[in-house]
Amino acid sequence: MNSKYRIRLENTMIILLGAFAAAILLLSFFPANIFTDYFMPALDMKKMTARIIALLMLTTIYHLYQRKRAAWYLTVTILSLNLLHCFLPFIFLGHDFSFLIISGSIDGIFLLVLLLWHRDFCCKSERRSVKQGLFFLTAAVLCIFLNATVSYHILKLQLSGIPKKLIFWDSMQEAFGILFGTTNNNAPGFPSVRFENFMFWFTWSCIGISLLYFLQPWIERFLWTEKDMQRARKIVLKYGQNPASYLTLEDDKLLYFSKKVEGVLPYGIVKSTVIVNGDPICAPEDFPAFLTEFRLFCQNSNHKLVFLSITGKYLDEYKRQGFGTVKCGEEASFNIQEYTIAGKKGAKMRMNINHATNAGLTVHEYRPLERRDPEIEKAINQITDEWLHDKNSSLLTFTLGSTGLDQPLDKRYFYASDASGRIYGFNVYCPYNGQTGYMADITRRSHDAPSGITEKIMYEAFQVFREEGIQSVSMGLAPLANVIEEGETPGSAAKLLNFVYEHLNSCYGFKNLYRAKESYSPTEWFPGYYAWIPGTKIPTPEMLYAMVRIQNRQGILDYLRTFLRNR
């Protein structure tokens, strides 16, 4: 079937599924009548069971519409349990076939469609915090246990021969005993064994679903096998022309492997916005097809799409496919084979390097894949903690890498120490352009480090790279620098970014970062861009929030607190 019509059919099925769940929820609140008895005659806990199933379905529908993998698993599980729920009354209690035919057929059709086209539901969920997961798990378990207790209590009240005056606390104790296998359910006065068995398995199945939801981020990370890592790494090293390409392998990213070409891209999800760090990574001739594939993947799953820090190499292709674009900063780049600090232009760089040298600092490369040194790694971690403590805002993620000492792979580490061996600062470099270039991803120093330490580490690393035949080193993007170029008429998006650069510098230090990179006298500055779709003149507020949130877990409030504190 044509993918366009398949997506339409899936969307129709999802809408009908939502309507079906809403109808079940609504009917569960009506008093018993011929209509409700006909459609929900399953066991005596039918109304509470129907409400839980309906509420679970309704909260899942939107995520199913976005083709979330977790929503697919949850929906398939619910439909399977509900299908089983249709058979139980007939098998154990001898109910009419009509219920099985009508309700079971509806569930079966929905389930069949989901199973047939399961590959379309491949969008991973937004990474949740532990607090959110624990809250959902705790609330779900409490509701499930309460449902079991209330249903059991109501059933005992309805049974003939049981006094109408029944203490709810006694029912709660008995229900919990059934669920944990500590109550003799063959004792006189208890409901049927079949009902209690159903209550046991249904309750623990619901708890299992809640637990799977809570563990989902960890399960996904576990399932990101070494084979997937090596597959992504191979593509990144082969085709990664963007200096940010190697950050694809950081564990804060979700990975999308192309189904049509050899390609991969790293993304994250905030609400209904997909954020990609850098350009899709593939052969140049495959780029249009890969971009089209992922764009349609996001559109079909009802997601907005934003690319951060893309290069100018494929800018025309983004525009051709309907993306809105805007310059988002400039990347400081060095041609290592030609770079020199001689002359007037390099005077400041020479002065800083000489100051660090006179302070007794020497630069060394740490190679953790050859031999691990706990003392060096301890010093690197301490400097990181100290540096983070001195920052104005929280540690940025997604567009920046980590030290990665647990899994260094192709990263390069250079550090500066004094004669006693104390480490004062370090840089981490990631490869790009087929390992003919390196990006200085992390540059950190202790608060009492001699001035010029970062310049000295950088320059000494340059010399090592030059001897190895490396062609270029990037210092990464200076965010929001020169987004409005002289002589051009800026658009709305450029005006907004320039306003942030000029007036919210205290939140992140955009200007200081640009001046710091400029002091190294880069060989060339390359523009970086944002691209988004739908291609409006300016990203929507939802997109702008997602762009901030994915880089800072504290969100906009963190920047606001920093701004007010500095004021």
SS3 letters for 425-475? EEEEEEEECCCCEEEEEEEEECCCCCCCHHHHHHHHHHHHHHHCCCCEEEE
SS3 letters for 289-300? HHHHHHHHHHHH
Amino acid (1-letter code) at residue 505: N
Please indicate, yes or no, if residue 26 is contained in any of the structural domains. Answer: yes
Predicted local distance difference test score (pLDDT) of residue 219: 58
- The whole-angstrom separation of Cα 268 and Cα 248 is 11
Predicted local distance difference test score (pLDDT) of residue 528: 96
Given the structure tokens 């606001």, which residue do they identify? Answer: 560
Tell me the C-alpha to C-alpha distance, in Å, between residue 245 and each of 2, 6, 49, 128, 240. 33, 33, 49, 24, 5
Please indicate, yes or no, if residue 193 is contained in any of the structural domains. Answer: yes
Number of structural domains (the chain) is 1
Measured in degrees and rounded to the nearest 5, phi and psi for residue 506 equal -65, -20
Please indicate, yes or no, if residue 99 is contained in any of the structural domains. Answer: yes
List of residues 6+ apart from 480 with CB closer than 8 A: 328, 329, 497, 498, 500, 501, 510
Given the structure tokens 């969100």, which residue do they identify? Answer: 555
Determine the number of helices (DSSP H) and then strands (DSSP E) in the chain: 19, 12
From 493, 538, 477, select the one nearest 310 (Cα to Cα): 477
Tokens of 241: 């022309």
563 band by pLDDT with thresholds 50, 70 and 90: low
Inform me whether the pLDDT recorded for 99 exceeds 60. no
Q: Are 415 and 426 in contact (CB under 8 A)?
A: yes
Tell me the C-alpha to C-alpha distance, in Å, between residue 44 and each of 85, 157, 190. 12, 11, 14
- The whole-angstrom separation of Cα 205 and Cα 146 is 15
Inform me whether the pLDDT recorded for 495 exceeds 70. yes
Amino acid (1-letter code) at residue 49: T
Maximum mean pLDDT: which of 116-125, 209-218, 237-246: 237-246
421 band by pLDDT with thresholds 50, 70 and 90: very high
Task: Look up the domain containing 131 and give its range.
Answer: 3-223
135 band by pLDDT with thresholds 50, 70 and 90: low
- The whole-angstrom separation of Cα 521 and Cα 506 is 25
Sign, Cα dihedral of 35, 39, 45, 47 = negative
293 band by pLDDT with thresholds 50, 70 and 90: very high
Predicted local distance difference test score (pLDDT) of residue 554: 65
- The whole-angstrom separation of Cα 398 and Cα 98 is 54
Please indicate, yes or no, if residue 37 is contained in any of the structural domains. Answer: yes
Given the structure tokens 């409006």, which residue do they identify? Answer: 536
Tell me the C-alpha to C-alpha distance, in Å, between residue 260 and each of 263, 345, 430. 8, 49, 28
By CB atoms closer than 10 A (0-12, 13-18, 19+), residue 369 is exposed
Please indicate, yes or no, if residue 292 is contained in any of the structural domains. Answer: no
Please indicate, yes or no, if residue 93 is contained in any of the structural domains. Answer: yes
Inform me whether the pLDDT recorded for 118 exceeds 60. yes
Please indicate, yes or no, if residue 80 is contained in any of the structural domains. Answer: yes
Sign, Cα dihedral of 479, 482, 485, 490 = positive
Predicted local distance difference test score (pLDDT) of residue 128: 54
Predicted local distance difference test score (pLDDT) of residue 88: 58
Higher pLDDT pick, 448 / 97? 448
User: What does the pLDDT look like over 10-65, one tens digit per residue?
Assistant: 888 888 888 888 887 776 666 554 444 444 433 334 565 666 677 777 777 877 88
Predicted local distance difference test score (pLDDT) of residue 503: 79
From 185, 209, 211, select the one nearest 197 (Cα to Cα): 185
- The whole-angstrom separation of Cα 271 and Cα 186 is 50
Please indicate, yes or no, if residue 390 is contained in any of the structural domains. Answer: no
Longest alpha-carbon distance in the chain: 103
User: What does the pLDDT look like over 527-555, one tens digit per residue?
Assistant: 999 999 998 889 999 999 999 888 876 65
Tell me the C-alpha to C-alpha distance, in Å, between residue 562 and each of 388, 507, 565. 14, 6, 5
